[in-house]
Amino acid sequence: MKKKRVIVIGGGISGMEAATHLASMGYDVTLLEKDKELGGHLLGWEKLFPTMRMGKDVVEFLNKGITLSKVNVIRKAEIVNAVKTGEIFTVTLANGNKFESDAVIMATGYDLFDARKKEEYGYGIYDNVITSADLEEKFLSGKPILTSKGNVPKKIALVHCVGSRDEKVGNVYCSKVCCVTAVKQSIELKESIPGVDVYCLYMDLRMFGMHFETLYKEAQEKHAVNFIRGRLSEACENQDSSIIVKVEDTLAGKPLRMTVDMLVLMVGMVPSAGTVKVGKMLGLKFGPNGFLKSMDQHTMGTITNIPGVFIAGTCAAPRPINNVFVDARAAAITASSYLEGYDIEKRISYS
Amino acid sequence: MKVEGKQAIWKEYQKDIAGDKYFYVRSCVRQNFFPGSETTFLRIMREELGKDIYEHPCHTTCTGIGYHGDVVPLDTMMTVVARQFALMTEAGYQNLVPSCITSFGIYTEVLDTWHHFPEVEAKVREYLRKATGREFKIPQNLAHASDLIYKFRKEIAQNAKFKLVDKETGKPLKVVDHIGCHYSKMFPEKGVGGAEYPYVLAGMIEDWGGEVIDYPERRHCCGFGFRQYLVQANRGYSVACSHKKFESMEPYKPDMILTNCPGCPMFLDKWQYAIAEMEGKTYGKDGYGIPVLTYEELAGMVLGYDPWDLGLQVHQVSCEPLLDRIGIKYDPLKKYNDKNGVSLGVPEKPSVMKVS
Amino acid sequence: MSQLYNKLLEDVRFQEGIKACINCGTCTAICAAAEFYNYDPRIIADTVQSRNEEKIENLLKSETIWYCGECMSCKTRCPRGNAPGLIIMALRALSQELGYFVESEKGRQQLFMKRVVGGWILTYGYCLYLEGIGTNMYAEQGPIWDWRQKNWGKVLDRLGANYKGEGNGILRKIPEEALDEIRKIFEVTGGTARFEKIEKFSKEKAEAMNLKFDDGIDNEYFQHIYSHNNNTHNIE
């Protein structure tokens, strides 16, 4: 019997892990990745919370899976069409190549929130306002962290919830990973710049993951990171390019102005452009926040309104890496049971 | 600072501003404190640009200061606004141009409220009918008078006699722009450039040869605060706000402050005098203050109008040092004359701040 | 459910001004009033969303609600789309409706706003009128204003005004029939009723405080509310 075929769209963590498991189950799996390299956003991350292990270790783990299970990887794949005809999916690339399959895994991931949309924070205008991703790039480069004028910063503030929980930019949801990323990056800043003062400006600290709270405690106890409960209202530039931040210390009930040498914006997750594009091509439903919608929040995660299309990872909602792994494996299982003729929709008794 | 970042934001907030046939409503504060500015605005619109700008003798205050002083109820304010709309409709105009920023904010707020609560609009129509028998159409275009000068800034630049350039050094003058809070803080999409980096005045400054100064307290209120200035017991609020701004802009050594709200130039002008009297501190060069101009005055100035036609003589901070830097000629002996050239005497000099 | 909260809900500004507040302090961080007074707009939002009758009543009688300058900087920024400035406007309206405004020093100043600004509107059709502004009450207007005051008409004339004239122009005399329409609007829409309430409650308060009270602006009560400051309002 001919092997059943699966197309996995997106070669980040969720796509790689789902592809690996489906291929190891014996399916003919094609993984389409728009970039020249697999790994997605993880390639831009040096160390991972909460353990501080290297991001590249995880990429290596994922790549080994792809190699060992013999996934057919197509890089620089720009999708121009994706349709379901009868029971068969056809995905067409810009170079004219077509791929057919019996099931599709959407693993199209997230984009980072464009911090320029928070105009009052001055990203792209003020020289010493950077994003968490920019900071990570600096960590990855191995070079010292310096201000725009090449000085060692003495004071750095990290701003939580940039592009998350904010009706003004249209994103009302929590991006989940930014709080703990801020804690992680605070510790790294403290470790790499002797004597630096680090401030986290937060609304709520959502330390939901196992060991996140421990990391937070470590940031306080061992590294003396300052946590100020207040959302940044605006950032302004001084003549010397340092940044004035205006927040309320809500626990003290007082407006606070503070000058910092560098401001780091913890940018949240938004549905990726690819998620929107391919999702529309396939006729998938989107939730109120613009991410792909599963059939039921509790019982039908990974399962979409189009039979044969499954969703994995952050194209469905913001998630940390460990959840993405679990999610990718779940998508592989639900796809497999679909391909084996199991109809999960028969179990639905609610309306 | 990267200006390209601001330019990208400015592109996002392009506002539709009507090209001609305006119904003009005056500003209470402007008329009392800067009458020359409204005169200059109409002169530029009519004589320089050949626009049809109509004024109705029966229009009144929008009640803005009473409304934001909380003695005029919302329904009353909305019905007075509706009456202005009715006068506009009856005169055959559709494009409303308020001279005042508080009015502009109020008109914007009223239209937004009616959009979200159509039953409120219906109620106001009924009130107006009952009180005056008038009917009205909603304006097709609402633009503040500074939006118009912004729209025609390049035409003004073409006819300009002067540039915002130091005649000695050839360098652009450093100009602080101060935007009235109610211009775009409530409805960012209704202002040229939005709320965070408004471009309405910056565009004029750039096209007329100057350099815009961004300073940390740029967005802070001048300190009018309605009841906070008007009631003596609260006035510390007002001066504290202006003071904060002066301290923040001082290191940049601005040549002038440009404003688009009627009240702000008065506060930024007069509080410099008061701070000098109270603290002995002045913010301009050589013991002078920083000249504070309205956008109408600045437009008239670059067009080469006589400074005393613009009304620069009613400022407490002297504008002569600015005129001298640009190389604008003026007759100091005519500064305090009446229309017929008869001297009205000379104001007393402040005890601290230098004046010309 | 609080009766006062329900009354506030009748004001569209209240509906626009508060949905649900998360106490993040974005408003307070850039509030001009919070930098000067013991004032925290975040707490205003949090207090009204408690829907607690007693807390809202205390707020309506407090100094706190009179500190805001209505610059509306808070409206630009709130991540939940709230606007404490609009909440304040609804609270101030209700405080005057119920006569609670006379319970605070800052609230009592509404009589000044009514008689001066309200008076200018109904008498002249302008929110401000130069003849009521002198350096005796507004010292910061400075010597230039004294010079103008000596030469009201001539300076205005020099600058192209039509001071007290017929027809169009700056500070023209607004025709009596237009003013009548404005007054009629005040009657029909509750403006006059608001003014009468401010007068009534102020008069009662003046009696309770044992301060002389009449229709003008020179009486003891009026001068007291205009200039008195108990100096407990500010941050140190």
Q: What percent of chain A has pLDDT over 70?
A: 99
pLDDT at A249 over 80: yes
Residue to mutate among A117, A205, A250, with most C CBs inside 10 A, is A250
Instruction: Examine residue B234 and state whether it is found in any structural domain, yes or no.
Output: yes
Q: Is the pLDDT of residue A207 over 80?
A: yes
Please write the tens of the pLDDT for every residue from A28-82.
999 999 999 999 999 999 999 999 999 999 999 999 999 999 999 999 999 999 9
- The chain-wide mean pLDDT, for chain C, equals 96
Residue A2, pLDDT > 90, answer no
Q: Are residues B115 and B157 in the same domain?
A: no
The count of other CB atoms within 10 Å of the CB of residue A309 is 26
Distance, in Å, from the CA atom of B260 to the CA atom of B241, rounded to the nearest integer, reads: 17
Please give the pLDDT value at position B267.
98
Interface test with A, best of C26, C31, C37 (most A CBs within 10 A): C26
Same domain, B205 and B137: no
pLDDT at A347: 86
Q: What is the pLDDT of residues B120-156, one digit of tens each?
A: 999 999 999 999 999 999 999 999 999 999 999 999 9
Residues B312 and B173 in one domain: yes
Domain containing B293: what range? 153-334
If asked whether residues B110 and B203 sit together in one domain, one would say: no
Beta strands in chain C (DSSP E): none
SS3 C224: helix
B215, B176 contact by CB (below 8 A): yes
Q: How high is the ipTM of this complex?
A: 0.98
pLDDT confidence band for A1 (50 / 70 / 90): low
Q: What digits encode the pLDDT tens for the residues C133-154?
A: 999 999 999 999 999 999 999 9
Asked if pLDDT for residue B304 goes beyond 70, the answer is: yes
Q: Hey, what domains does chain A have and what are their CATH numbers? A: 5-109+272-347 (3.50.50.60), 115-268 (3.50.50.60)
Question: What's the pLDDT at B12?
Answer: 87
- B200 and B319 fall within a common domain: yes
Residue C50 to chain A, least CA–CA distance (Å): 18
Q: What is the mean pLDDT of chain A?
A: 97
Across residues B316-321, what is the average pLDDT?
98
Whether residue B172 is contained in a domain is answered as yes
**Which chains would you list as touching A if contact means 3+ CB atom pairs under 8 Å?**
B, C
Look up residue B229 and give its two tokens.
């200035």
Instruction: Assess whether B34 and B109 both reside in one domain.
Output: yes
Residue B199 forms part of a structural domain = yes
Q: Per-residue pLDDT averaged across B260-288, rounded?
A: 97
User: In Å, how far is A171's CA from the nearest CA of chain C?
Assistant: 10
Contact between C221 and C211 under an 8 Å Cβ cutoff? The reply is yes
Chain B residues near residue A124 by CB distance under 8 angstroms: 2, 4-5, 8
The per-residue pLDDT for A348 is 80
pLDDT band at C193 (very low <50, low <70, confident <90, very high): very high
**Contact check, Cβ <8 Å, C24/A167:** no
Of A221, A229, A225, nearest in space to A183 by CA: A225
Same domain, B86 and B106: yes
Chains in contact with C, where contact means 3 or more Cβ–Cβ distances below 8 Å, are A, B
Helix (H) or strand (E) holding B175: strand B174-178
User: Which residues from C are below 8 Å from B65, CB to CB?
Assistant: 117, 127-128
Average pLDDT value for residue range A227-243: 97
Q: Which two structure tokens, joined as six digits, stand for A69? A: 């299970």
The answer to whether A179 and A202 have CB atoms below 8 angstroms apart is yes
Tally of CB atoms within 10 A around A335: 29
Which of B40, B115, B232 to probe the C interface (max C CBs under 10 A)?
A: B232
- Same structural domain, B89 and B161: no
The alpha carbon of C22 is separated from its chain's Cα centroid by a whole number of angstroms, namely 28
Q: Does residue B251 belong to any structural domain of this protein?
A: yes
User: Chain B contact for C220, CB < 8 A?
Assistant: no
Mean pLDDT, chain B, integer: 97
Residue A99 pLDDT: 98
- Neighbouring-strand partners of residue A79: A93
Contacts of B278 (CB under 8 A, 6+ apart): none
- Residue at B71 is within a domain: yes
Question: Which domains are delineated in chain C?
Answer: 3-103 (1.10.1060.10), 107-227 (no CATH)
CB contact under 8 A, C69 and B224: yes
Q: Which of C171, C168, C160, C83 is nearest to C127 (CA)?
A: C171
- Residue C1 pLDDT greater than 80, yes or no: no
The stretch B70-80 carries a mean pLDDT of 98
Instruction: Show which of B145, B163, B191 is a domain's final residue.
Output: B145
As for how many domains chain B has, the answer is: 2
Residue B222: CB partners within 8 Å, gap ≥ 6?
A: B178, B238, B241, B242, B245, B259, B261, B263, B264, B267, B268
Q: In a 10 Å sphere around its CB, with 0-12 CB exposed, 13-18 middle and 19+ buried, how is residue B133 labelled?
A: exposed
Residues B245 and B182 placed together within one structural domain of the fold: yes
Distance of CA B125 to the CA centre of its chain: 31
* Contact between C112 and B68 using a beta-carbon 8 Å cutoff: no
Kindly provide the b/e burial profile for residues B104-123, where b requires at least 16 CB atoms within 10 angstroms of the residue's own CB. Answer: bbbbbbbbebbeeeeebbeb
**Tens digit of pLDDT for each residue in C7-42?**
999 999 999 999 999 999 999 999 999 999 999 999
SS3 content of chain C, % helix, strand, coil (to 5): 60, 0, 40
Q: What is the pLDDT of residues A253-292, one digit of tens each?
A: 999 999 999 999 999 999 999 999 999 999 999 999 999 9
> What is the residue whose two structure tokens read 């590294």?
A223
The CB density around residue C24, as the number of other CB atoms within 10 Å, is 29
Contact partners of B by the rule of 3+ C-beta pairs under 8 A?
A, C
**Whole-angstrom Cα distance, residue A181 to residue A229?**
17
- In this structure, are B173 and B258 located in the same domain? yes
CATH number at residue B204: 3.40.50.11810
Tens of pLDDT, residue by residue over B54-64, are 999 999 999 99
> Which residues in chain A are contacts of C29 at CB distance < 8 A?
230-234, 246-248, 255-256
